[in-house]
Structure 1
Amino acid sequence: MTMFSDWIARTGWAEIVWLTVGFLAQAMFSARFLVQWIASERVRRSIVPEAFWYFSFAGGAMLLAYAIYRQDPVFILGQAFGLLVYARNIYFIWSERRAGEPGHEG
């Protein structure tokens, strides 16, 4: 494995890999707005669908990894805080779903 990582470092592939992660993360993060827009247009009112929070969390986690790689403290703090918000909303969704299952009253 070290031969492979050494080769990546020597050839500059590490930068290409991280740029790819960064762009994919930004695309994932941006997709949540498309999901929200389409859902709101369908019902003609502002709503936040469940998929919005999953895209938010996935894109936020990927952007946090990229920010850590870039060693950008402002970007790291912003993404880390966002992950807490996204995780909390996903927790609420799962809790509400679990509360509606038989045997989970109370």
Structure 2
Amino acid sequence: MSTQTLALVIGLVSQLLFSSRIVLQWVQSERARRVLVPTLFWKVSLLSSFLMILYGLLRHDPVIVGAQLLSYGIYIRNLQLLGSGCN
């Protein structure tokens, strides 16, 4: 598998995970009849962001890497604020 193909697969999986976190939040919020942001939302965000960092590295795109590193830090902080043991 070429590097370009690998990057595209990683990017696609990452985008699918980013989309799934929104669906997860929507379903849980609808069931609770109030807005929720479950811990799993942030954990999926972390995984997605990590994959996007890999994607950015494989594509040699410093903008993607930088933006995802910033997002990754935010996701970790949100998990810390929720007390999810992500220290």
> Is 1:94 aligned with 2:49?
no
Partner of 1:21: 10
The residue correspondences of 1:16-95 to structure 2 (distance < 5 A) are 16-92=5-81, 93-95=83-85
Q: Which runs of 5+ in 2 are unaligned?
A: none
TM-score, normalising length: structure 2: 0.86
What CA distance in whole angstroms lies between the structure 1 residues aligned with 2:43 and 2:78? 9
Query: With CA pairs under 8 Å and 6+ residues apart, which has the higher RCO, 1 or 2?
Result: 2
Determine helix, strand or coil for the equivalent of 1:94. coil
How many angstroms does 1:47 deviate by?
1.0
Deviations along 1:39-67, one digit per CA (max 9) or x if unpaired, are 11011111101110011000011011101
Letter in 2 for 1:28: L
Aligned length: 84
Structure with larger Rg: 1
How many angstroms does 1:91 deviate by?
2.4
TM-score, normalising length: structure 1: 0.72
Identity %: 32
Deviations along 1:50-103, one digit per CA (max 9) or x if unpaired, are 1100110000110111012112222111111000011112223225xxxxxxxx
How many angstroms does 1:14 deviate by?
2.4
How many angstroms does 1:34 deviate by?
0.6
